[in-house]
Amino acid sequence: MKIGFVGCGNMATAMINGILNSNIVKCSDIIVSAKTQKTLDNIKEKFNVNTTIDSKVVCKNSDIIILATKPNIYTEILNNIFKSLDNTKIIVSIAAGKTIKSIEDIIGYDKKIIRTMPNTPSLVNEGMSAICKNSNITSGDLNKVLDIFNSFGKTEVVDESLIDVVIGTSGSSPAYIYILIEAMADCAVKYGMNRDMAYKFVSQAVLGSAKMVLETNIHPGKLKDNVCSPGGTTIEAVSKLEETGFRSSIISAMSVAIEKSINMSKV
């Protein structure tokens, strides 16, 4: 199996790292294109994969083609490569706001297309990716792509109608969590803890809390209740969060992210 990347930013780099660490293919079975030779030289030095400045070469020499370019140049890239694609190749998109239909409109309705939405924790093999497919994708095709995305995190196959919700829920949400971590660390620093120590305490608390939800299958509300001793410090903090609209702020922020994604898909 030959895997090609059209574009090679942070997400593509994370994917290549996961693929090679999981031994899905050898480095000689990966080919990458990018806009600049400098980017290609860096990727070549880091992973020893094949590189080319020409995206059409990637398409001609790959069984699975991962379109890892920015949404603003997506149409340009598809128009450039569509003659190099046939209906045996699996085309994987990671771009926000680009529907399966919008890709089919350019490269053809007979092509195998999978739309995905990974997130930046893929860089540390803790990604969460949504996968949706068109009608030309077989179960074997889907499993090949799932193997790739599972190599740097977790995956869930979803209907494309949910992809905008995914973007607000896992695609954008690392930014919300980073703000939370930074704010909590600021408070710890205010009360005398050095910043490096504060980030370590807070980040491990966030990581551990997430693992508790994933591994115990206990409702988050119950886990919260378990920490809130009667008359204790935690319930005092939770009360203040409710008073200042913490919960509603999160819901509002996610809602505008989802609405933005919906509007991008209409363009």
Q: Return the pLDDT at 74.
A: 87
pLDDT value of position 267: 65
Give mean pLDDT, residues 164-175.
94
Per-residue pLDDT band for 70 (boundaries 50, 70, 90) equals confident
Pairing outcome for strands 90-93 and 112-117: parallel
Question: End-to-end distance of the chain based on CA atoms, in angstroms?
Answer: 35
Residues 188-214: tens digit of each pLDDT: 999 999 999 999 999 999 999 999 999
pLDDT > 70: what percent of the chain? 100
| Distance from C-alpha of 266 to C-alpha of 262, rounded to nearest angstrom | 7
pLDDT in tens, 32-57: 999 899 999 999 999 999 999 999 99
Residues of the chain with CATH 1.10.3730.10: 171-266
Q: pLDDT band at 30, cuts 50/70/90? A: very high
Q: Which CATH architecture is the domain 3-163 placed in?
A: 3-Layer(aba) Sandwich (3.40)
Superfamily of structural domain 171-266: ProC C-terminal domain-like (1.10.3730.10)
pLDDT digits (tens, 9 = 90+) for 207-257: 999 999 999 999 999 999 999 999 999 999 999 999 999 999 999 999 999
Domain with CATH 3.40.50.720 in the chain: 3-163
> What's the confidence (pLDDT) of residue 115?
97
